[in-house]
Each structure stands twice: as C-alpha cells, then as structure tokens.
Amino acid sequence: MIDLYYWPTPNGWKISIMLEECGLPYRLVPVNIGAGDQFKPEFLRISPNNRMPAIVDHEPPGGGELVSVFESGAILQYLAEKTGKFLPKDLRGRYEVLQWLNWQMGGLGPMAGQAGHFNLYAPQFTPAEQLAYGQQRYSNEVNRLFGVLNKRLADRPFVAGDYSVADMAIWPWIVGYKNFGQKLDDFPNLKTWFVETGKRPASDRQW
Ligand SMILES: N[C@@H](CCC(=O)N[C@@H](CS)C(=O)NCC(=O)O)C(=O)O
C-alpha cells in the first residue's frame, strides 16, 4: 500500500495519474495547503520542503523499512522503477524521458506557477499597475515553453517515445493554460496531444 499525501493541484495530479495508470493500490492522505497542513510536524518529517505531493511506500521494492519520497519528479521516477512502467530501461530511452521530466520540473511547472500567481491570485490583493511586469514576464516564458513543446510534438504522439512519466508530469500543467495567459489554438500539436492525453481514464481521476 502507498500513502499519497495529496491536494488537488497539478503537482498532486501527476502522482494520482501515475498510480492510476500503474494500477497500484493507494490511500489518499489529504494535505489541505489552504489550511496549513503542509506545515504540520508529522508532514514535515516526510516532506521537509513543506510542499505536497509526497508518498510513503509500505511495500518498497526489495522489502525493508518504509520508503518516503517528496518532489513529484522523484516520486514519478520511484514509481516507474518500482513497477517497471512508463520509463524505458534502455539508456537512450530512459534519458529521452528524464530530460523532459526535468524540463517540466525545472521550467514549465515553476514558470506556469508564477504566471498563475500574477494573473489569477495577486490581482485579488495588489493594484493592477503593480502586476503588469510579473504578468508579462511569466506569461511570456510560458508562451516560449509551450512553443518548445509544440515543436517537440510536431512529429510524435507522445513527448518521449511511448506514453511515459514525462507526459504525466506535463499534462496537468497544461490544464490551466488560460490562467497562464495562453491560447491552445496557437499550439496545434500541443493541443492535439493535450486533448488525446486527457481522454485517458487516469487523467480524469483527480480527487
Ligand atoms: N517541486 C515540487 C513543488 C510542489 C509544490 O509546489 N506544491 C504546492 C502545491 S502545487 C504546495 O504544496 N504548496 C504549499 C505551500 O506553498 O505552502 C514538486 O513538484 O513536488
């Protein structure tokens, strides 16, 4: 059994999607980040960066003590290694996927998160004239990243080889594209991939 420390956000969805795709039994442990659950000492013991998602695996490969993992990219990699699914075993295929997983972790996720902050959240508290720079900076960067992904998807159905943890990491960060100041019609290859990936049953299971 795996405990999934979870709240319904793009980073949380990545892991619920992977668990569903793998058919692994799991138990949801809600971490209400609006109520401050991420700062509770028992959660910080698992996730010292006070961010969800995190997992605790009660049956780790090879047995032994429980394994806990935080950071969604590391969790996806752990689950892929545990199950042998959605991450190729050969060197070239593996790094093809891992580079795009890391592209999401280091680029798309943080930049889209900031774009969402300036476009959606900050206007509730901050005068509009103070927000334009941040809104433009991060929306432009998301626009660039969407362009990179669109180009990548010009001649392939998935981001790297077969459907993989790279697709699972990226897809939830396209869902809120309007909040990031983007129009999917500007990125036709990305749009096709987004719509098709959204039809997978696991993409629907966002608790
Ligand atoms: N790089 C981390 C980011 C996780 C993250 O930012 N989680 C947010 C929700 S999407 C969170 O827990 N926020 C709580 C807070 O800001 O205190 C990952 O991918 O796991």
Res. 88: pLDDT tops 90? yes
Residue 125 sits in a domain of what CATH number?
A: 1.20.1050.10
Choosing from 54, 83, 112, the residue where a domain stops is 83
Quick one: pLDDT at residue 204? 78
Ligand 1 centroid–CA 74 distance in Å is 13
pLDDT in tens, 113-160: 999 999 999 999 999 999 999 999 999 999 999 999 999 999 999 999
Closest residue CA from atom 12 of ligand 1: 51
Same domain, 77 and 151: no
CA end-to-end distance (rounded Å), the chain: 18
Angle between the N-to-C axes of helices 10-22 and 72-83, in degrees from 0 to 180, rounded to the nearest 10: 0
95 & 159 share domain:
yes
CA distance 5 to 27: 9
Say if residue 130 is in the same domain as residue 53: no
pLDDT band with cut points at 50, 70 and 90 for residue 206: low
For the beta sheet containing 67-70, the strands, ordered from the edge strand earlier in sequence to the opposite edge, are 26-30, 2-6, 54-57, 67-70
> Across the strands, what pairs with 68?
56
Number of domains in the chain: 2
Among protein residues, the one with the nearest Cα to ligand 1's atom 6 is 51
d(Cα 85, Cα 81) in Å, to the nearest integer?
Answer: 7
Strands (E), 24-178: 26-30, 54-57, 67-70
Residue 207 within any structural domain of the chain: no
- Select from 59, 20, 174 the least CA-distant residue to 6: 20
Ligand 1 cavity residues, CB under 6 Å: 9, 11, 33, 38, 50-53, 71-72
Q: How confident is the model at residue 1, as a pLDDT?
A: 95
Ligand 1 centroid to Cα of residue 49, in Å, is 8
Q: Could you tell me the residue range of the domain that residue 102 belongs to?
A: 91-202
Among 22, 55, 83, give the residue marking a domain's end. 83
Residue 207 Cα to ligand 1 midpoint, Å, equals 17
What Cα–Cα distance (Å) separates residue 8 from each residue in 34, 40, 106, 156? Answer: 11, 18, 21, 29
State the virtual CA torsion across 154, 185, 98, 105 in degrees, nearest 10: 160
Residue nearest to atom 15 of ligand 1 (CA): 51
Please state, rounded to an integer, the average pLDDT across all residues of the chain: 96
How far does residue 31's CA lie from ligand 1's centre (Å)? 11
pLDDT of residue 131: 96
User: Is the pLDDT at 7 greater than 80, yes or no?
Assistant: yes
Do 49 and 25 share a structural domain?
Answer: yes
User: Is residue 71 very low, low, confident or very high in pLDDT (cuts 50, 70, 90)?
Assistant: very high
Q: What local confidence, expressed as pLDDT, does residue 202 receive? A: 92
Question: Do residues 141 and 111 lie in contact, with contact meaning Cβ atoms separated by under 8 Å?
Answer: yes
Residue 73 has pLDDT above 60, yes or no: yes
pLDDT for 200 equals: 94
